[in-house]
Structure 1
Amino acid sequence: MAGCGHSQSTEQRTQATSPTAERTQPATGYTEKKPAYDGIGKVYMGREIAQVMGHLGAEWLERPERQQEERTDLLLDILDLKPTDAVADIGAGTGYFTFRLARALPKGNVFAVDIQPEMIEYLNQGKKKAGTPNVQPVLGTITDPKLPANSVDIALMVDAYHEFDHPREMGQALVKALKPGGRIVLVEYRGEDPNVPIKEHHKMTAQQATREMAALGLKLLKNDARLPQQHVLIFGRN
């Protein structure tokens, strides 16, 4: 199962998916259906949102074979980072990418955003252990990453976006957080490839991701195919 540190309470999900709550929300493209085995029954622009993994899946995020399976070592090269960049790792989880980013940004900083207090604790412990003062853990919400406006050069989501139960609201907040010329990067298992051994709702097609980002005023700048199982989709303002 894919996913990276994005969870919510039963009460929050009930509020988000009940017919009453849906009627009171603005026209953001959400509908409801009977949940699939790996979905939550909430549909955004034709895509059913996936169930979350949460902090109990921390060991899976840090599994030793992850680098070989996903070639995570290539991602920093693909991002083409500048030493002074500010990067937001959205759904940072245990900080698998957070601390790799921090070492690559000696004059920059990393906002490690998660909505689970358990993951924020992982991140604070990891920050001390790794000696990376340029990491700033941030406790966000299901609709807001709590980032300052015009504060980040890159907002990175690794196997996380497909689980956001308010993708439009989160996306709008992330666009506001981008500096001029900033980018949103989605790393998602390829939904076009049936051979990728991941549950259906934990994969995304490039076409679907591009459609959802277009609703935020973003265009696809690059679809990097170097990773063996995942898209790296880089978006910027139109």
Structure 2
Amino acid sequence: MTNHKLDNPKRIDELNPANTLRRIGLKAGDSFGDIGAGTGIFSFEAAERTKANVYAVEISPEMLAILQNKKHERNTENIILKKDIREIPSACCQRVLLCTVLHELSEPEDMLDEIKRILTSDGIVAIIEFHKKQTPMGPPIEHRISSEQVEEEFLQHGFSKMDYFELGENFYLLLFSKTKNA
């Protein structure tokens, strides 16, 4: 299996899946949704940490093939591969992650509706995106979405901001919870 750009050691080191999952509160027994799972750097770490269901959602056939191979190689039974977030049962995930996915969406409102649907009542969603400035890696600045834009979008969609932190020089992370009346 060839290495994919998403498996770049500098990228993985900066995203630090184990520490990031700890910081977003993923614990043993929590079901996890990795939306836009890519090569699974968060999915496989989450599968080890939680032992509960990990829904790895990926639309790319190339990425799905990589995920399937890794799942088989690692004998990771609790990873459930899906091609669409709409295939995940309602109210089943305590934590949901979108890592560098939001800036790719043409209809983010639909995705936010689906995130809200799959989260448990006390669920938390984590959004990792590229800083909206020149950084050593990432898409052109005009394709990036600022933390302020992400926050505004989620607040308008009935989520509550919980936290913000930076993941090195390339990425930031925002945490949101469902509001009580959501």
Q: Same fold (TM over 0.5)?
A: yes
Q: In the alignment, does 2:92 pair up with 1:151?
A: yes
Could you list the runs of 5+ residues in structure 1 that have no partner in the other structure?
1-57
Within 2, Cα distance between the matches of 1:224 and 1:125?
A: 33
Partner amino acid for 1:99? F
Q: What secondary structure, in the 3-state scheme, does the structure 1 residue paired with 2:81 have?
A: strand
1:94 to 33, 36, 39: 39
1:129 to 64, 68, 73: 73
8 Å Cα contact 2:93/2:123 also seen in 1:
yes
Q: Which runs of 4+ in 1 moved over 6 A?
A: none
Q: In the alignment, does 2:172 pair up with 1:231?
A: yes
Look up the match of 2:145: 204
Within 2, Cα distance between the matches of 1:168 and 1:75?
A: 25
1:99 positional shift = 0.7
Question: Per the alignment, do residues 222 and 132 of structure 1 end up closer, same or farther by CA in structure 2, a change over 3 Å counting?
Answer: same
Count matched residues.
Answer: 176
1:211 positional shift = 0.8
Within 1, Cα distance between the matches of 2:91 and 2:67?
A: 24
Structure having the larger proportion of residues in helix: 2
Q: What secondary structure, in the 3-state scheme, does the structure 1 residue paired with 2:9 have?
A: coil
Q: In the alignment, does 2:64 pair up with 1:120?
A: yes
In terms of Rg, which structure is larger?
A: 1
Q: Considering only aligned residues, what root-mean-square deviation do their CA atoms show, in Å?
A: 1.9
Within 2, Cα distance between the matches of 1:156 and 1:203?
A: 17
Residue deviations 1:2-30 (CA, integer Å, cap 9, x gap): xxxxxxxxxxxxxxxxxxxxxxxxxxxxx
2:10 to 65, 69, 77: 65
1:194 positional shift = 3.9
After alignment, is 117-126 or 167-176 more displaced? 117-126
Within 2, Cα distance between the matches of 1:59 and 1:160?
A: 17
Within 2, Cα distance between the matches of 1:154 and 1:95?
A: 16
Percent identity between matched residues is 26
Within 1, Cα distance between the matches of 2:119 and 2:111?
A: 13
Look up the match of 1:76: 21
Question: Per the alignment, do residues 228 and 196 of structure 1 end up closer, same or farther by CA in structure 2, a change over 3 Å counting?
Answer: same
- Normalised to the residue count of structure 2, the TM-score between the two structures is 0.87
1:214 to 141, 144, 155: 155
Residue deviations 1:200-228 (CA, integer Å, cap 9, x gap): 13432211001111222112111123544
Within 2, Cα distance between the matches of 1:113 and 1:165?
A: 17
8 Å Cα contact 2:6/2:39 also seen in 1:
yes
8 Å Cα contact 1:94/1:119 also seen in 2:
yes
Question: Per the alignment, do residues 195 and 126 of structure 1 end up closer, same or farther by CA in structure 2, a change over 3 Å counting?
Answer: closer
Residue deviations 1:37-65 (CA, integer Å, cap 9, x gap): xxxxxxxxxxxxxxxxxxxxx71101233
2:54 to 93, 99, 110: 110
1:189 positional shift = 1.2
8 Å Cα contact 2:135/2:169 also seen in 1:
no
Partner amino acid for 1:125? N
1:132 positional shift = 1.1
Question: Per the alignment, do residues 86 and 214 of structure 1 end up closer, same or farther by CA in structure 2, a change over 3 Å counting?
Answer: same
1:66 positional shift = 2.1
Partner amino acid for 1:112? A
8 Å Cα contact 1:71/1:228 also seen in 2:
no
Question: Per the alignment, do residues 82 and 74 of structure 1 end up closer, same or farther by CA in structure 2, a change over 3 Å counting?
Answer: closer
1:82 positional shift = 1.4
